């Protein structure tokens, strides 16, 4: 009798162990009326469509994949309609109570995630996009690239702020760092300002003038470039893993990751003709379409 009872108990425990664990019950997801973008020069759409020769870094905010807009002046001047996340939100959910906050700043890296996300919290964002890490990978030399531990600590500190401060039901959408190696591969097909070869422009990394010596320096070996790409991949893995961790343990917010920004292939027309580095307006348009379709509100 005791043996039979022990067997029944054991079978019951086994059966319970095989029952799938219910996913974490979350608060209702908020409509993304208040957009806040955390990022670097890509989110600012630097040199995407217009370039001021007296200001090498020229923000083209109307062409941002995240915060871009199109009003009378953009129409009159013939600027590109990138159909940004901001515009898609208005189309899908209406203009009422809409807010469009760009926290992103050219030159920002993972050390700036916390301060930018503090602004997202201050703005009580319903929808936060994170597209950051390019300037962690793109350094003048390899020793300046942050360690995995430092990069993770920077991102985690920002995520902790969002978890503690965003309204319940808010969504955080994190994008993988672009595959910068693919940009380097396009070099022979690209020309920049005044028709100068992009490979010639990139050569000024030797003088510390152009960014991303860790990938674009002409003296780099293939092993050097693959090392830089390995850091690119490692940081994206950290981003993906952290998003999964926070989404599994946070019942009040929605966390999502997409690597379409890493997997996508560049075409020459999608690279800025002014600086051979940032996405052009066509590139921003594709980033918007791809990330929206793969994101939390694209279906």
pLDDT at 238: 98
Q: How many domains does the chain have?
A: 1
Q: Distance from CA of residue 136 to its chain's centroid?
A: 13
Average pLDDT value for residue range 253-280? 96
Helix%, strand%, coil% for the chain, nearest 5: 50, 10, 40
- What is Dmax (Cα atoms) for the chain? 91
**Residue 4 located in a structural domain:** no
**Residue 12 located in a structural domain:** no
**Residue 21 located in a structural domain:** no
- Distance, in Å, from the CA atom of 146 to the CA atom of 235, rounded to the nearest integer, reads 10
| pLDDT tens track for 7-53 | 444 444 444 444 444 457 999 999 999 999 999 999 999 999 999 88
Q: Let me know if 63 is exposed, middle or buried by CB neighbors in 10 A (0-12, 13-18, 19+).
A: buried
Which residue shows structure tokens 């070996």? Answer: 221
DSSP class of residue 194?
G
Host domain of residue 105: 29-293
**Residue 55 located in a structural domain:** yes
**Residue 19 located in a structural domain:** no
**Residue 281 located in a structural domain:** yes
What CATH number does the domain containing 49 carry?
Answer: 3.40.50.1110
**Residue 71 located in a structural domain:** yes
**Residue 15 located in a structural domain:** no
> What predicted TM-score, i.e. pTM, was given to this entire model?
0.91
Closest CA to 38 of 92, 146, 114: 114
């Amino acid at each position: 009798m005791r043996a039979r009872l022990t067997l029944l108990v054991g079978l019951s425990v086994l059966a319970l162990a095989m029952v799938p664990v219910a996913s974490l019950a979350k608060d209702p997801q908020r409509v993304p009326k208040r957009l806040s973008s955390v990022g670097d020069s890509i989110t600012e759409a630097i040199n995407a469509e217009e370039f001021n020769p007296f200001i090498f870094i020229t923000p083209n905010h109307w062409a941002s994949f995240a915060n871009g807009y199109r009003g009378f002046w953009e129409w009159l001047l013939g600027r590109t309609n990138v159909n940004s996340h901001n515009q898609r939100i208005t189309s899908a959910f209406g203009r009422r109570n809409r807010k469009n906050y760009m926290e992103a700043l050219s030159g920002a890296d993972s050390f700036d995630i916390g301060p930018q996300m503090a602004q997202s919290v201050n703005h009580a964002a319903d929808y936060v996009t994170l597209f950051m890490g390019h300037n962690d990978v793109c350094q003048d030399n390899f020793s300046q690239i942050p360690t995995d531990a430092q990069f993770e600590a920077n991102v985690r500190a920002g995520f902790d702020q969002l978890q503690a401060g965003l309204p319940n039901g808010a969504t955080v959408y994190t994008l993988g760092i672009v595959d910068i190696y693919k940009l380097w591969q396009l070099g022979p097909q690209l020309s920049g300002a005044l028709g100068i070869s992009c490979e010639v422009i990139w050569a000024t990394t030797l003088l510390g003038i152009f960014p991303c010596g860790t990938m674009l320096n002409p003296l780099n070996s293939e092993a050097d470039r693959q090392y830089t790409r390995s850091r690119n991949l490692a940081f994206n893995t950290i981003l993906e893993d952290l998003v999964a961790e926070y989404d599994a343990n946070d019942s009040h917010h929605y966390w999502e990751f997409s690597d379409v920004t890493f997997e996508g292939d560049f075409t020459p027309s999608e690279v800025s003709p002014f600086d051979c580095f940032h996405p052009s307006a066509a590139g921003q348009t594709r980033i918007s379409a791809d990330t929206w379709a793969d994101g939390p509100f694209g279906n």
